[in-house]
Amino acid sequence: MCTVTYVPIKKEYYLTSNRDESALRGEVEWPSLKKSSAYNLLYPRDKAGNGTWIAADDQNRVVCLLNGAFQRHVRKDHYRFSRGRVVLEIFTYSKIGDFYESYDLTDIEPFTLVIVWYGKLFEFKWDGNKKFMKNLDPNLPHIWSSVTLYNPEMIRLREQWFRHWLEKPGIINRDKILSFHQSEISDDPAINIKMKRQNVQTLSVTSLFSTQEQMSAVYFDLINKEISENGLVNETVLKNVRS
């Protein structure tokens, strides 16, 4: 939820998230399918906040959370509910513009969302007072670093690392992306992609791979060195095939 990359490969893409969090936050339920009458969701569940930091559905929509908006903010003692719930509730909207216009974020802690919505890529920010959203080019790679953990200089340095990684020869695949998300390029562990500080560290890496037919997920628990894999079929494609 604090380092996110989007890497397109033709009509497919990888969206990968490092969860940089306190190990004391509590247990995580590994990515699994949750079914409703309208759609199926695939996501890891944060039991403490009853939400998630990354989720995908069977209509090829993906939402990923980063803490903070434009700059580091002072946390309040209490918020209405966890930002992770917003990630799940956005899927109840058919149009991303309706979410932007009508979703009530009053008394919710600032955050950033990376949204892939029917092939379009958006960056949504809530600064605690106002919503911001912009279209991004889905044909270009992108990287985000949480402003609550990294200052502008650190963010620029990490962007440089990402660009240099993209320029390296070889085919980009999931193994290569997972390797980048576990990289320790700097001698300073506090700013590495796989980071570690006194009270926070990279606990896991979640990587989603989207094709026109399906979405697959790999969840790598870095603390226990365990891997979980899951996936779901694109229901829109199935409907077209049935018809």
- The enclosing domain of 72 has a CATH number of 3.60.60.10
State the pLDDT confidence band at 23, using cuts at 50, 70 and 90: confident
Question: If you ran DSSP here, which 8-state letter would residue 150 be given?
Answer: -
Q: What is the pLDDT of residue 48?
A: 75
State the pLDDT confidence band at 10, using cuts at 50, 70 and 90: confident
How far from 142 is each of 59, 122, 175, 192, 197, CA to CA, in Å? 22, 11, 18, 17, 25
Q: Where are the beta strands (DSSP E) in the chain?
A: 3-9, 12-21, 28-35, 40-46, 54-57, 61-67, 111-117, 120-126, 131-136, 142-145, 201-210, 214-221, 226-233
Q: What is the pLDDT of residue 26?
A: 64
Q: Which residue range forms the structural domain that includes residue 211? A: 3-242
Of 241 and 171, the structure prediction assigns the larger pLDDT to: 171
How far is residue 34's CA from residue 115's CA, in Å, rounded to a whole number? 19
Q: What is the mean pLDDT of residues 149-160?
A: 97
Q: What is the pLDDT of residue 240?
A: 38
Q: How many residues does the chain have?
A: 243
Give the contacts of 126 (CB within 8 A, at least 6 positions apart).
69, 105, 108, 110, 111, 112, 132
Q: How far is CA 132 from the centre of its chain?
A: 18
Tokens standing for 194? 């796989």
- Residue 149's region, left for phi above 0, alpha for psi from -120 to 50, else beta, is alpha
Q: What is the mean pLDDT of residues 123-150?
A: 97
Output the pTM of the full model: 0.93
How far from 162 is each of 18, 63, 213, CA to CA, in Å? 14, 21, 28
Q: What is the pLDDT of residue 243?
A: 33
How far is residue 27's CA from residue 173's CA, in Å, rounded to a whole number? 29
State the pLDDT confidence band at 50, using cuts at 50, 70 and 90: confident
Residue entry with tokens 């949504």: 124
| Widest CA span in the chain | 57
The structural domain count of the chain equals 1
pLDDT above 90 for 86: yes
- The 3-state secondary structure of 16-84, one letter per residue: EEEEEECCCCCCEEEEEEEECCCCEEEEEEECCCCECCEEEECCCEEEEEEECCCCCCCCCCCCCCCHH
Give the contacts of 228 (CB within 8 A, at least 6 positions apart).
30, 31, 218, 219, 221
Sign of CA dihedral 97, 101, 103, 106: positive
Q: What is the pLDDT of residue 38?
A: 76
How far is residue 80's CA from residue 158's CA, in Å, rounded to a whole number? 33
